[in-house]
Amino acid sequence: MRKPLRSSGRRAAPASAAARWRRLGAWLLIGLLPAALAGGGWWWLQNSTERAALQRVVLLLPDDPAVDAVSVQTWRDAAEELGFPLVQARAAQLLADDPLVRGAALIVPDTIHRRMSDELIDALRRRVAAGARLMLVHDAGLADSVGRYAAQRSRLSELAGVDYAVYAELRTGMLREAPVTVRAEQVEALQIPPGKLVRGPDQRLPHSSELPPPKDGDALTLASYVYGPLKYTTFVTRGTYGGTTLMSAPDGSLIAGLRRVGAGQVLFVNLPLTLLAQRTDALPMHTFLRYFAQQVAGLPQLSPLPQGRGAVVMNWHIDDRKALPALARAAELGAFEQGPYSLDFTVGPDVNEPGDGMGMDLANNPQAQAWVQRLAAAGHEVGSHGGWIHNWFGARVGQMDPAEAAELIERNSALIGRFSGRPVREYSAPVGNHPAWITAWLHERGIRSYYFTGNSGMAPTRSYQDGRAPLPGSWSYPVLSFGVFASFEEAKANGTPEAAVAAWLRDVNHFCANHRTLRLVYFHPFGIVMYPKAFRQWLDDAKALVGSDRLRWTTMAQYTDFANARLRTHWSIGPAQPGGDPGGGEGAASIVQPRVQLLRAEHPESLAGLAWLLPAARYQRPEVSEGQASVERVDGLWRVVVTSGRRLVLRLPLQPRLNSFSPTS
């Protein structure tokens, strides 16, 4: 799980007199910009606001060639998984007005871009004033080009909308760990998944549709499975924020907010997104990257899911022989009339200690063998739930010799494959204990999908562990919890009413359907007996959504196959006419920008099943110029689903006045 981030405690150096004069001159320029442009250049500012059509997200990197490649990959992976076009550019390219950055929404990331020249900061100010969208993250630009910090506040405070990094006042206390609360009215826009927020006097009550709307002062706090409310390293902020507050700290400090600056917009995120993603808490990065690309920039999205339809993974952990009667009860409730599901078995003869005889003993248990065969024949994914002796293995695997632990995982997988009749393709860790070496071991054996207790609340992702990049093609499936609980039996042990569990499961279905995303819910079969009505209602609700073509059941292995094939897609957006502004409009060339863009996509094998989601507020009805695809309007989007072929070209006519696209204004 994530480790707390610590301040370095380094003393901030006061800015030089020359630097203060440069900042003063830059802000005088911005203050006089409208008047200066009124004579012969006002058309540029106005036109870039009304006619610009952003085409990509640019991750702005320093000119230093030694930038950390893993940190950059963290952002690129997130953008790929979400389905937004992201490229990287150097600071010098922005200063030179390179066409690559002209048509871009800009992200200045934490960790990677801590040092920034005054010249670059001034350029960012001018671009935002002229209509650019900027996502400013945590400690970006905190130091100047030689590593000195401004004593009073960050030089980017004016863009952020609050003073932060106020070293002169707070010294090392300018950074501290604090809970993060989400404004109730922003939960939907941020797409925070059901169960990820807690509320109440003790911040332990999971937020769901079953509860009345939160009252003033009833904070919705980000939480995690087992750990409860999370604390994040953030800057204390000063001043009244003049934009839309998305997240805040209990002391009123701004954690995230969106505001207009001149003709542009700035999304300030006071969280170390890069470091969190590398420490198995990537939900904040994905949340704000999606919000920025979709809500602020209005970019087209390559849907993460087939046909752009939501999905749920029902992941069963079947630990021992006492689960077999519960499987029969689940069948009576109609569980296996739907699916497919991911059902992962621990099949050794023992559970708590070697020799206790409490395990499933698949090799010698005809009833267990029949279940494995029945489930595999019905099309469910029968996977491995770790290392042969469930509880004993789960408690010790982190300290065991990897060779000894691997032998137990192999023994478990081999026996399951013998009775299912097909190779094991997915894995779930007993007790959630999944050291990083296990991921590599699974990868070597072709097992690319695994249940994961890190990154809780997320869609499937390629997880970073111990700061290391993920292995190609391997996907983790983070558990979606209900506050601090994830399984039915945990909720029951803490007295959670059945109505609350039913509401959460219903919320999960509709969250995935409405936002065209995927989440994993896990449980043990005997937990069904504790909440049979909630389980039955979950099935009924899912059946209705599946019938209306809004949701599907899938398995970890099935989605991994699709996700890896999807990553081989190459696509881009650009002007339809040669000579148009290749950057999309931030600059004088935007006066002649074509009113039609082209989306071009290619795949070495087939694009079939891939879907693009395009905001109808930005685009008129797309036209298929090349390839085979259906086009329909759903939920304020154009959904374009490819039916066959390896190449697609879409003509995207822009709406007459693009400034009408402002979902966050």
Query: How sure is the predictor about 533, in pLDDT bands with cuts at 50, 70 and 90?
Result: very high
Number of residues that this document lists for the chain: 665
Choice among 8-17, 113-122, 271-280, 622-631 with the minimum mean pLDDT: 8-17
How sure is the predictor about 117, in pLDDT bands with cuts at 50, 70 and 90? very high
pLDDT of residue 585: 36
Model confidence over 477-514: pLDDT tens digits?
Answer: 999 999 999 999 999 998 999 999 999 999 999 999 99
pLDDT given for residue 8 in this prediction: 30
d(CA 54, CA 316): 43
- Give residue 18's pLDDT: 38
Mean pLDDT, rounded, for 313-319:
97
**Across 310-332, average pLDDT:** 96
Looking at this protein, which amino acid is placed at residue 256?
Answer: A
pLDDT of 439 > 80? The answer is yes
Q: What CATH number matches the domain at 569-660, 2.60.40, 3.90.550, 2.70.98, 1.10.287?
A: 2.60.40
- 366-377 and 323-332 helices, crossing angle to 10°: 40
Topology (CATH level 3) of domain 17-175+238-297: Rossmann fold (3.40.50)
Q: How confident is the model at residue 42 (pLDDT cuts 50, 70, 90)?
A: very low
Q: 310-564 belongs to which homologous superfamily? A: Glycoside hydrolase/deacetylase (3.20.20.370)
Report pLDDT digits (tens) over 553-602: 999 999 999 999 999 999 999 888 654 443 333 333 333 445 899 999 99
Torsion of CA 259, 265, 268, 269, to 10 degrees: 110
Structure tokens at 452: 């994961």
Higher pLDDT among residues 20 and 280, named by residue: 280
DSSP assigned state of 577: S
| pLDDT tens digits for range 72-86 | 999 999 999 999 999
* 512-532 pLDDT per residue, tens: 999 999 999 999 999 998 999
Q: Please answer whether residues 143 and 11 qualify as being in contact, where contact means their C-beta atoms are separated by less than 8 angstroms.
A: no
Alpha carbon 494 to its chain's center:
29
The DSSP-derived string for 194-246 is: TTSEEETTTT-EEP-TTSPPPPTT--EEEEETTTEE-EEEEE-EES---SEEE
654 vs 15, which has greater pLDDT? 654
Q: What is the pLDDT of residue 202?
A: 78
Domain ranges of the chain: 17-175+238-297, 310-564, 569-660
- The answer for residues whose C-beta is within 8 angstroms of residue 295's C-beta and 6 or more apart is 189, 663, 664
DSSP 11-22: PPPPPPHHHHHH
pLDDT band, residue 208 (cuts 50/70/90): confident
Average pLDDT over residues 215-241: 91
Say if residues 182 and 246 touch (Cβ distance below 8 Å): yes
What is the average per-residue pLDDT within 194-219? 84
pTM of the shown model: 0.89
Residue 374: CB partners within 8 Å, gap ≥ 6?
none
Return the structure tokens found at 260.
């207009």
